[in-house]
Every structure is written in C-alpha cells, then in structure tokens.
Amino acid sequence: MVEELGKKKSEQYWPNVAGAQKVYGAYTIHCTAVDSSDKRIVHTSLRVEENGKEVCSLKHYQWIDWPDRSVPHSLLAVFRLLRFSRNSRFTTVVHCSAGIGRTGAFVAIEMILQRSVSSDSVKMVNVVKQLRGMRASAVQTDMQYVYLAMSIVNYCKEVGIMKSSFFEAFNRFKESYESLAQKRLAEEEAKMRGMANDMEIMERHIEEITKELERWDTQLEKYEARKEENIEKLYEEPLPADCADGIPQVRTTRILTNQCLAMYHGSKELVRVKQENEQLETRAEELHKEVQEVDEITQE
C-alpha cells in the first residue's frame, strides 16, 4: 500500500524489491531490479509472465516527493520523466491517486512542450481546457496551474532559450512561486493532519455508539423477556376463591388490574427504549456517512 501522511493513496500493485513477485490470476509480475539513485524518482524493472511464459517487460517510475494536491519540490524532475517516456516505443500510462491533479499537470506539461515545437504561441489555458475535456478536473488546484507556467519558463532558462532580458522577471516569479508553494504545502499538510484527527474522533464516537447500541439491545431483550413472563403469569394465575361463576370480585379485579398496569408500564418503557435505540442507530448511520465523506475527501 502506498501512503502519504499516513493516508492510503494507492495499492502496492507492483513488486518493489528485487526478486519479489506478485500474482494476479494467470499473470505473475517479477521485480528484476530497483534503481533508487535518483532521490526523487525510483526506477523499477519488471517482467510479466502469463501462465509461466514471459509476455513483456516493463519500466516503472515512481515520483516519490510530489505531494497530493500540491506541487513537486523539483522543477526539472518532470522533464527527466518525460525523457524516459519519449525514449520508449511503447505506450506510457500515467497515474497518481485520483488521476487528475498530479497526473493532469504532468500530461499538460508534455502537451505544452509538444505544441511549442509546432507553434509560435501556446496558450496554457487552452491546453488545460482541452485536457479537462478528456479528463474532468485535470490539473486539480490553482497551485498546480501556476506550476505548469513555472516549470515551462524554468525549462526555457535551463536549456538556454530564454532571453537574458527576461532573467530579472523570471527570478522574481520564481521567488514568489517558491514562497507560495511552501505556504500552500504547509496548509495542505495541516489540513490532511486535521482530517486524520477528525476521522480518529469520529471512529471513537462510532465505537462508543456501537457499545451503547449493544447495551440497549441487551436491555430490550430483558424487557421483551419480562413482558413475556408477565403475559404468561397473567394467563396462568388461578382464579381467586372470591370469584363467583367466573366473575371476579373486588380483590380479584384489583389483582388483575395491578398485573395489567405492570404490563402497561413495562410496555411504555419498552417503547421508550426502542425509540432511544432508533435514535442511536440513526446517529450511528450519520457518523458512518461523515467518516465516508471525510475518507473520500482525503483520497482525492
């Protein structure tokens, strides 16, 4: 399982230790090598077999320091990954957690670069609009949109195609970008930690309510049993001696009345307990929904 800030983001669907393997039905994925020399990108070589017969080899690249809903610490790592992809003659599959933020930004940069080769003018907003037409919400946050611009102009400077007259403006832009990126990253991490704490609190509430429900269920069982006992006693009670021709006299009437009153009050208590039980169940369902909503938000 791949986690970020203690939150599950992806299944560990590939073996990430040399010599390890994972089996999916008829397919077995073997890890043949792991290269961690790049501090940002882990390169894993994989071999895929179907029913024991090799069908293909794969290269898996994992970018390990690009936070969810944020921007990467490096402005050049994306171009190293793109170079790996261009050197392959096979289709490249890109994914992150939700498949819109980091994935969208990565693909958008490649689209901008490809268009800049064939056009003198490229509007970044049009590229993102087109990308979102194919993948809704691609380039998820405003900070990721700024990252597109920053990475492209930084690349232009690094490869020497930026005019020197733009250097001063570029440096100001880069300084502002880095300051904003650090601020947003801190905010996002605090938000994620807050959500994690909220989930822990909700889970404790659910546990407490579950215990309370169990306690009330036990009480209900006792009341039901007591009710049945009272009914049985009522019918099994022999007629008193002062009952003439099956018509109870005053004392007999008092006995039966007391029994009926006991049953009546017991029934009222049973109704009250059932109502409280229903309220607890409703609250438990609400808390479960809240936990699911928080979980969905944190996985985006």
Which backbone phi and psi does 45 adopt, to 5 degrees? Answer: -95, 130
Domain membership flag for residue 293: yes
Domain boundary among 43, 64, 85: 64
The three-class DSSP label of residue 216 is: helix
5 Cβ contact list (under 8 Å, min separation 6):
189, 192, 193, 196
Residues spanned by the domain of 54? 1-64
Give the H or E element holding residue 45.
strand 41-50
pLDDT, tens digit, 9 for 90 and up, residues 257-298:
555 555 555 555 556 666 766 776 777 677 667 666 656 655
Domain boundary among 41, 64, 87: 64
**Tens-digit pLDDT string for the chain (300 aa):** 787 766 778 889 999 999 999 999 999 999 999 999 999 999 999 999 999 999 999 999 999 989 888 899 899 999 999 998 888 888 899 999 889 999 999 999 999 999 988 887 889 999 999 999 999 999 999 999 999 999 999 999 999 888 888 999 999 999 999 999 888 888 877 777 777 677 777 777 777 777 777 777 777 777 777 766 665 565 555 555 555 454 444 444 445 555 555 555 555 555 666 676 677 677 767 766 766 665 665 555
Domain boundary among 64, 89, 116: 64
The total number of structural domains in the chain stands at 2
State yes or no: is 96 an active-site residue: yes
Domain membership flag for residue 12: yes
H-type alpha helices, 15-141: 77-86, 102-118, 124-134
Domain membership flag for residue 94: no
Distance of CA 144 to the CA centre of its chain: 20
Domain membership flag for residue 105: no
The three-class DSSP label of residue 58 is: strand
Domain membership flag for residue 272: yes
Among the options 31, 56, 96, 260, which is catalytic? 96
